[in-house]
Structure 1
């Protein structure tokens, strides 16, 4: 590119340098030394101007511009230099083309403010706004030689102003629609500047409000002291709050008393001086009248209120009792869970010791077995604590209801006492059911104890189990699916219930027992369990003649596993050196579990946490099975299993836990994995591990 040596061009900015450096010899302008004086003059003015300035020269409007204007074309700079306006502004020529035509052909000046121009920037059409002027550059004979352009983008200002206007409109709408009566008063004369429709409705239609003083608009309030109160607020700058204040108003030509709550809040100018008062009022006439009526109610109403308060206090007390029960349940569950870990250590140690002693020392074995029996009793107590704490989920299995009731006869007899005769009748053809045996036992025991309480002088308790076929009509009444059901009835010869009590007996918190004798939750839990098991409970009672509860539970479908079969797997089997990784944060339990597995013939590695287990596997250790606790500090057993499955979908995982709830309480359990409940015997451990390894071998 040939640089011009035109000495007449004054300026050292970017565009001055670009213009000098441009090869004008092949351009319609020709060499710069040959440029006409008019062009030289206006170009010098543009280059030395602080305003964004452009010159469109000649009939085809060739473009020259200064540094400040170079930001206007953005990515079209510097290619726009020397180009035709119609080529530079192809995207907006439909708007600016006629404006240039008016200047070029009619010598008119064009000024545009907030002009919308949709300009392409980066290949995207943007909505932009501009302030600019287009003026003719005239020759000596009055001929238009070009167009002188100055201007700048105002998009941000326009959009901000538009947003402010929208916000003002929103505020105006909110003000107009506000439920409270609102007015703004200005100056010591309290002239209305603003009043919303709610305010105008409150004072009634007036000929003129805005621009007039309160004393002129509402002359009737002057003698009532409201104007003096406004003056006091204005002078002291202290707000005033009025509550249930009567005011006499001339509403639509009629004198009327209204009762209002209101606020007088002083407003301040930019200098911090009080310049007016913000008024907000609420018409509470109806509420005030209602309160007056309430004040004149008779003593009967006061008694009703007292009864309602008593009910509320009673409900609060019941709620407090439930919360206390929940707190005790949480504490009990936590203690029982930790106790399970300790029992697991004791039982594992005793199992290992018994295996090692064999039958050589009968006395030692007898002592070990006694200790094991005590530990198992403690474990059973722990499970009962966990059940109370509701840490056990339902574990439905195939149950023979006749056998279950028969097995409970001795337990129920001890619970209800000798003064009550118990009679058990079972149908040998009764169908098996699918239910949580423990929860069913608890439900029957609950019903038996309630029956005992209904027979303080003694009586008889009859438990009957039979099979019933329930058709569609009866099923609709019971809200169950038609089919074969086992019916377990618990019938007493006690005091019975009145219809009123019978209608509430399944309601939570309802009890007829003395305070402290029951929570009122027992029967609501029973019906909840039965209905969760897809069954129903029916109450038949008559005051003075006894009560019968009938539990209907549907027949178990083929293929369901009995509780006994689900628990007992193949006998303990020895390992053959398979690699077992034990993950347990309790050091003693981790050690004894590992030792028990070594005793069974497995190769064992242990880890105190999920993170360390993953690190061990990452280092190259490949276990055939991972035995992990569920609740651990840091990473849980569920999280560890999920990460193992993500690393190797075939990972073999067995969970161990203090309570079954752990196995299903996490949302990220990767699959249904085997579970060993703590505390466990070495035989249960051996069986579970053996089955899990055999299952993996079958799938591989």
Structure 2
């Protein structure tokens, strides 16, 4: 009976993790088979599984990870790979921290952290998290520390909420202080009494100064019309109405208006008072006070202006949100297509690789048979077209791995001139105009030249094979207004424009130009992926693409790329032997889950002279390597099943002494070895389907460690 069974009614022994622990092959780890675990370890696991808190056990000096259901939720995309994995391999981004924890607790110490800030890659992307962490030693059968029990409580949401609360309180405090200053800034400007029967207005000394009278004049009294002369013309009718209303029905008088100061400036004041009546009910006198409210009114006007501005900002934000939601829908559509495309590309390119490799092998075995050679050549052409179609789909979906480098547009025609002229024909004139000192940009040169070639072929078809294609470049500084709706950051950019003299496009065609598989060409004359591919490449490179066109007036395509201030990369050649540069003698470990691809790769490598070992996944490869298999290079597929992924295998290989170089092969990387579809530094990738020449060249490149060779060899 397993000690993890649900006998005795203990709820802590049930759950997903209990089942995973029971079914995992622990014999491949340093803990040994499950049945041989020590009583202390078994008891610790029972306690761990029964706890609702996120708990993880780090057992032994390697810290093999055993955890409960709550911790599995915290682990995110790392679960269930972490189960039975050494903690430093499971969380390599915080390996040094975990090493310190294991060493401290195995020495009998305890550790506790409150709101510990760490950067983790739970779902493939770095994220800053905060956690309460409590570590204590777990005793073995002999009572000495044998493992570490960790309580992991994530406090990220609380920390972020607290940060936002503090920011909001500070903002509210500042606002209240300003408001109180505005409301309390009023000052008494004097008192007045209007004798209604004789129409004489008198006031104290401060009131006299405010209205520009001498104190003696105010003591004698002045007609109220003289005082109202300094009231702002726009406010006078309102003031008279309020006075008349107070005199007519005895209501309280309160009026805010502007008066002209001796210096010509206008001052906001508040006049308050009431009308007194005699015994017969006739108006007798009208006392009141005058208060300076200028600062408050200025603050209110500023607040009103802010409210109006805020209202407009809300309208703008709503409109922007509608636009962003539309962009999000488009992005989600693109993401869905990208996910589907990636899966199709992976399987499709594996099929193409098997077909291509067997064709190469057939051509080698039947070297003297011209009929076989002709058929092989024809079939390889179809494989190449299939590979290009797959690459176009990945480019549109922004899933192609890029190898960007610093590039100058002066070199465009150097690399494309002959190819462009052959593709366009002699009846089309290519006019290239570049500035004297164009800025550098950072792009994948092969993809950029492929994009220009696609646009040039579209232009050729639009001109019916005759006309002028003008390719121009320019340095441009883009301001915030221009960049606002283009997902660009204001700054310096390099503009590339391709203009043709063809038939142009209608507004409806122009609106759908970037849609995948949309084409105005006849069936069989185009896939409708050309512009989509270029659009995907430009967006993936952080640029912007637009088209202007009118029927009968031709079409201009604009490509914008951010300026790069680095110098142009200088090519470094690979130093190979002159006698047979593609052959080798080293030992290569092939890691590939597809049997057909694996077998053809083995045969191609042996034909190139290499010693070959093989594994069907990362788990099998790691087992061979840990058993002492010595290899000079690991040749691995990117996307494979199993607990140990290709990226984990490569990370392990880099840590060996000396490091074991790794060459990846894939038709779709699925962000395993890329970040934003850009290859990690020091990563070598061979795109499927590949030829024997591609394979041989890339192997020699990786084995000789030439820096510039890092990247993808296109088949």
TM-score (norm 2): 0.40
Max Rg structure: 1
TM-score, normalised with respect to structure 1? 0.41
